[in-house]
């Protein structure tokens, strides 16, 4: 722009002048709750209702409250009404609502259920507010001018219990936030009592876990909860509660995590059904009514409801995380505090409230005592008092004359002068004076209380005990320890079906579902390629692929794409990242790593390796030293149960033996034990199961013990040319 004027400013000065005041205002005057558990908007609203007499009287229209609140809160009516809605019993956001409501206030667990307009709803303060406003009229807290200086409002409310922990509170300020979960009132009161008695108390023992108005199940991890209690930061998981209706074959969800809504859950489940990740659900309905929340899932036949819910907990907000950030304003400064520190700060605040209340009572009672002492003096001569008043010509001289006549001060004289004529009798005055001794004792007791913090703490303990009994409710959120919680593993999401795996000489692997193989069994292979192995497996199995370089590659079967017999399949060199000259020579599928691998070498040795040797806790894809490389490998095989094999040497000596004679080894690259002894420099050349060997007289070749040389092949016996993985 031509002609525009720019003023250079120091960015730090600019931010200090313009941004910092705004940030501080949001932190201190809007978003972060204070030690009484309220943000300014809450406090202004509730104090307005208190001044309107809504603690004892009947309900009034919400619109009336909103209008009156504007005297303290210079915001629009919709912002004030939204604040009011969250504090109501009808909305259900709070464990202990501050506002008793009538009408539709929406529901905290619903995103779309809108609350009615303020002209249709009615409110009054709930009974628990007796404890929120107790002693407010006794100077328990400071009052300040409202925004236009026309009235006073309290800076804090003198809550008689740690309200900051009892109701959930969330706020986002500038560069900081606050997220306080709610705790059970009875547990909070008991914890506070125990903390007052012993500051080293184990808080976990009494404050079991957070408690939410929406119920659900809290997954209790002791380490996590302890960390939150200590630091004020951390997170925990809450999951929905459900029941299975066997008759109608449906799941009914009736309590959900506090941090989500029924609509968010339904949307997430619909997306999973549409994408094909969840196939067990026929229909989803929101059946929430006046009885409360209910989300219904109609299931397909033979669906396991618990297994389905495990999946849904993993994939939807039916299980959600609550992130704690106990950021609270203390003396105008935001502080992230653990439970003990919060209780300590609340205790300091409450002690100060009680001291101020006691001081107020001392002053009031002292004034009353002072007046009664003056009254006692006129009891000596009532007639004299009457005579002084009657004989005084000017009204202005009545008080000075009484002061002189009875040696009393102006305040006492004013009090005496204001006594009605009918009360200038001996009985009335004696009755009033009889309070003097009682008052003196009360004042002495109050003075002692004011200076005795131990006594004040006992008062707080007594108050907390009464509150717990009067307002305490059973826990809504059930606690389940994490060791008792079933967590959905990756396996639960894998569709299970039977497959056949084919390995070709040129390193192609085909995974074909049995259903596909039945309809199209004709294999397509590359020229000069042929199938060297086929095995049965399930989609949930693991596959071990052994190479000619003593390496085994591991994959989950479900990670391999399904294909048809008419396709070439996956090229293993690319799929596994194999080395030059490396070939896959044998595959095994297993779900439990039971059984053994058998390796036969030219030197006549056989190694029987436990399958568990190939199992790894971490998801490793490649294991070296899969078998011994000291002698040339003749064949390998997977052995579930022991069996009889025929071993053939290069000079046609045959040995039939049982694999049970070979002792298992744990080390993968073990050379094993000698099975076939060498003769005239012979080597082991072939191994096969006796069933397919073609040998007619097995007893002739069988040996009880190994190693053995074996016997020459009879002329009438012809060995089957087929063999197991001969290379």
Residue linked to tokens 């290069």: 650
Asked if 305 and 244 touch (Cβ cutoff 8 Å), the reply is yes
Q: Positive or negative CA dihedral for 169, 170, 171, 177?
A: positive
First to last CA, the chain: 82
Asked if 137 and 356 touch (Cβ cutoff 8 Å), the reply is no
Give 383's Cβ-side CA count (13 Å radius): 0
Cα separation, 605 vs 603, whole angstroms: 6
DSSP string, 161-197: S-HHHHS-EEEE-SS-EEEE--B-HHHHHHHHHHHHH
707 cis-preceded (ω within 30 degrees of 0): yes
Q: Positive or negative CA dihedral for 24, 30, 33, 38?
A: positive
Cα separation, 446 vs 451, whole angstroms: 9
Residue linked to tokens 């313009």: 18
Integer-rounded Cα Rg, in Å, for the chain is 43
What size, in residues, is the chain? 727
Cα separation, 312 vs 241, whole angstroms: 12
Cα separation, 387 vs 565, whole angstroms: 128
- If phi > 0 it is left, if psi is from -120 to 50 it is alpha, else beta; for residue 680 that is left
- Assigned token pair, 705: 């013990």
In b/e form, how buried is each residue of 640-677, taking b as 16+ CB within 10 angstroms? eeeeebbbbbebebbbbbebebbebbeebbbbbbebbb
- Nearest one of 349, 332, 353 to 192, comparing CA atoms: 349
- Assigned token pair, 356: 């101020």
Residue linked to tokens 């004359």: 401
- Of the residues 22, 81, 120, 593, only one is catalytic, namely 120
Give 181's Cβ-side CA count (13 Å radius): 31
Dihedral angle of Cα 458, 326, 35, 30, to the nearest 10 degrees? -170
Cα separation, 589 vs 290, whole angstroms: 55
- Assigned token pair, 409: 């001060």
How distant, in Å, are the alpha carbons of 98, 493, 511 from that of 490?
45, 6, 20
Dihedral angle of Cα 555, 557, 560, 564, to the nearest 10 degrees? 150
Q: Is 476 helix (H, G, I), strand (E, B) or coil?
A: coil
How distant, in Å, are the alpha carbons of 15, 174, 177, 363 from that of 23?
10, 5, 12, 41
- Nearest one of 271, 273, 260, 274 to 299, comparing CA atoms: 273
Cα separation, 153 vs 140, whole angstroms: 13
Report the Cα 254 to chain-centroid distance in Å: 18
DSSP string, 426-439: HHHHHHHHTHHHHH
120 is catalytic: yes
Asked if 535 and 500 touch (Cβ cutoff 8 Å), the reply is yes
Cα separation, 96 vs 427, whole angstroms: 51
Cα separation, 676 vs 710, whole angstroms: 7
- Assigned token pair, 554: 């591991």
Beta-strand relationship, 605-610 and 664-665: parallel
Where in the sequence numbering do the catalytic residues fall? 120
């Amino acid at each position: 722009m031509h002609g525009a004027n720019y003023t250079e400013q120091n960015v730090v000065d600019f931010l200090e002048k313009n941004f910092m005041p705004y940030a501080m205002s949001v932190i201190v005057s809007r978003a972060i709750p204070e030690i009484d558990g309220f943000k300014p908007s809450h406090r202004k609203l509730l104090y307005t209702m208190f001044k309107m007499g809504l603690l004892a009287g009947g309900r009034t229209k919400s619109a009336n409250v909103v209008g009156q609140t504007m005297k303290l809160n210079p915001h629009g009516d919709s912002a004030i009404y939204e604040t009011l809605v969250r504090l109501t019993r009808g909305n259900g956001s709070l464990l202990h609502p501050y506002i008793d409501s009538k009408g539709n206030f929406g529901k905290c667990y619903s995103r779309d259920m809108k609350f009615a307009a303020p002209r249709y709803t009615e409110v009054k303060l709930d009974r628990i507010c007796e404890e929120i406003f107790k002693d407010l009229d006794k100077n328990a807290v400071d009052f300040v001018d409202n925004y236009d200086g026309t009235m006073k409002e309290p800076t804090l409310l003198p809550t008689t219990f740690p309200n900051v922990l009892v109701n959930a509170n969330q706020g986002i300020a500038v560069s900081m936030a606050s997220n306080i979960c709610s705790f059970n009132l009875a547990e909070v009161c008991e914890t506070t009592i125990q903390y007052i008695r012993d500051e080293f108390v184990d808080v976990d023992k009494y404050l079991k876990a957070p408690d939410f108005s929406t119920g659900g199940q809290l997954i209790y991890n002791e380490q996590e909860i302890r960390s939150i209690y200590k630091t004020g930061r951390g997170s925990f998981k809450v999951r929905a509660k459900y029941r299975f209706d066997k008759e109608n074959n449906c799941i009914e969800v009736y309590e959900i995590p506090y941090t989500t809504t029924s609509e968010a859950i339904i949307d997430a489940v619909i997306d999973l059904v549409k994408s094909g990740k969840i196939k067990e659900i026929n229909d989803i309905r929101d059946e929430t009514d006046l009885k409360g929340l209910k989300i219904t899932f109609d299931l397909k036949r033979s669906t396991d409801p618990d297994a389905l819910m495990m999946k849904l907990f993993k994939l939807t907000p039916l299980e959600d995380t609550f992130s704690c950030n106990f950021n609270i304003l203390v003396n105008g400064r935001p502080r992230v505090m653990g439970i003990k520190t919060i209780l300590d700060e609340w205790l300091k605040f409450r002690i100060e409230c009680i001291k101020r209340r006691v001081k107020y009572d001392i002053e009031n009672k002292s004034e009353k005592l002072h007046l009664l002492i003056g009254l006692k003096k006129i009891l000596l001569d009532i007639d004299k008092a009457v005579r002084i008043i009657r004989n005084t010509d000017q009204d202005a001289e009545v008080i000075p004359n009484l002061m002189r006549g009875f040696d009393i001060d102006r305040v006492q004289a004013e009090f005496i002068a204001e006594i009605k004529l009918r009360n200038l009798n001996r009985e009335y005055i004696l009755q009033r004076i009889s309070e003097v001794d009682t008052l003196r004792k009360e004042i002495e007791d109050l003075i002692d209380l004011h200076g005795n913090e131990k006594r004040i703490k006992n008062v707080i303990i007594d108050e907390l005990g009464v509150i717990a009994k009067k307002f305490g409710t059973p826990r809504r959120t059930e606690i389940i320890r994490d060791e008792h919680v079933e967590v959905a593993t990756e396996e639960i999401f894998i569709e299970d079906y039977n497959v056949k795996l084919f390995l070709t000489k040129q390193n192609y692997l085909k995974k074909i579902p049995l259903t596909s193989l039945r309809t199209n069994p004709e294999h397509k292979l590359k020229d000069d390629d042929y199938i060297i192995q086929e095995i049965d497996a399930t989609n949930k199995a693991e596959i071990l692929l052994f190479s000619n370089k003593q390496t085994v590659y591991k994959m989950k079967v479900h990670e391999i794409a399904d294909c048809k017999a008419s396709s070439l399949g996956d090229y293993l060199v690319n799929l596994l990242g194999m080395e030059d000259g490396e070939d896959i020579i044998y595959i095994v599928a297993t779900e439990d790593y039971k059984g053994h691998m058998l390796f036969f070498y030219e030197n006549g040795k056989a190694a029987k390796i436990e399958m568990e040797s190939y199992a790894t806790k971490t998801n490793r894809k490649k294991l070296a030293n899969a078998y011994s490389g000291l002698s040339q490998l003749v064949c390998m095989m997977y052995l579930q149960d022991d069996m009889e094999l025929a071993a053939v040497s290069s000079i046609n000596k045959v040995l039939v033996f049982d694999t049970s004679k070979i002792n298992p080894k744990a080390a993968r690259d073990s050379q094993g034990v000698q099975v076939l002894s060498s003769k005239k420099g012979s080597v082991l050349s072939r191994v096969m199961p006796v069933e397919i060997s073609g040998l007619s007289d097995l007893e002739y070749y069988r040996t009880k013990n190994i190693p053995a040389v074996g016997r020459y092949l009879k002329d009438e016996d012809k060995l089957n040319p087929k063999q197991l993985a001969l290379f």
